[in-house]
Amino acid sequence: MTGRLNENCLERIAPFIDEKYLKTGRLPHAAVLVGTKDGPSFQSLQGNARDGQPLAEDTIYRIASMTKPLTSIAFMQLVEQGKVALSNYVHEFIPEWRDMGVFVAGGGDAPFQKRRPKRPMQMLDLLRHTSGLTYGFQERTPIDAAYRRDQLDSFTAQYDLETFLKKLADYPLLFDPGEAWNYSVSTDVLGGLIQRISGMPFEDYLQENILNPLGMADTHFQVPADKADRLADAYYFHAAVTKKLYDPGGAQSKWANPRAMPSGGGGLASTMGDYERFCRMLLGRGAFEGARIIGRKTLDLMIANHLPGGKDLTELSISLFSEADNAGVGFGLGFASTMDPHKTLMPGSAGDFYWGGMFSTAFFIDPGEELFMIFMTQLMPSSTYPVRRELKTMIYAALE
């Protein structure tokens, strides 16, 4: 049985954010939406999107890794159509990867030494981040350093999607596919696979099969010129001054200008209202306002824990960067999923699923309580403050 939300409890959220994060200058702005299957239960818009421009319902945010669930859903549509299977080897569709090896030694000025993987990478590995790929910004290994040197991260890639896929063949995997969890460019690779398998440019496929059917009219890889003034300023944490401007809103923003590659792992900008439509589709088990985006059984498959042996992320993660609180949390096909709520040390439900972005944005879906939340701000890195944990705690405290 689903609970009812106590409005008095939800009304605590805005003053809390104001006192702790806005008056102190820790966050530039904050938008929160809490909704149920019946409609919005709470919404707050606080702070300025840009200097002298208050946050509005149509403010556009860089959602970064909240792009990943959309890309994962798009790939699973192709699975439903029989065009690809989770068990397929990646090199069946990216033959350039047939001889990709696992790191042994090297890096820097020394050539990489590699060995054959115990098994080839599967599509499943890309969706659950057990591929052996990495992100350069993790700054942990010689492979991370090589990604940074050659600008392979999705946020800085200087290549189109096809060139990106081909260049990745030159770098070793960090580990044997399926043997660890490491946050990586895997979802960007899924974008390239969608492009190859569907025969359509990835951005066109996403537009035609997810964004248009859901009415997500303000979600873009490149924010159009006539919408650029709605794009919020983005900041990064700086210890001396709390936050510094990273990317301005408006026409000067990187997100308002052409970039080499549509990043399925982190490239989209969107609004609170658009992402609400995506969340309502997830809460509706794959359908929203008559549009069936994904089958309900396919979505059930996606939100289940797919980590080998039923383990949680504390047992498999070697990543310094994760959008997950690892204890009690598994990972499915594009989403983190809560297995044991008590281990997370905050209220929640077994089976709730979620993700976030590097600018501290976040969402979660609780199918059992028929509840969802979206949080938007623009401060990187996402680990700077525990605001997402605090919000989830306050929202579940409002359930009666």
| CA-based end-to-end distance of the chain | 11
Backbone angles phi, psi at 366, to 5 degrees: -120, 95
- Bridge-based pairing state of the strands 379-380 and 234-238: parallel
**pLDDT by residue (tens digit) across 371-387?**
999 999 999 999 999 99
184 dihedral zone (left: phi>0; alpha: psi -120 to 50; beta): beta
Secondary structure element (H or E) that encloses residue 74, with its range: helix 68-80
The answer, as to whether pTM is greater than 0.85, is yes
In the chain the domains, ranked by start, together with CATH numbers, are 7-76+201-397 (3.40.710.10), 86-198 (no CATH)
**pLDDT by residue (tens digit) across 50-79?**
999 999 999 999 999 999 999 999 999 999
**pLDDT by residue (tens digit) across 253-297?**
999 999 989 999 999 999 999 999 999 999 999 999 999 999 999
Tokens encoding 61: 């945010």
Coil, helix or strand at residue 353: strand
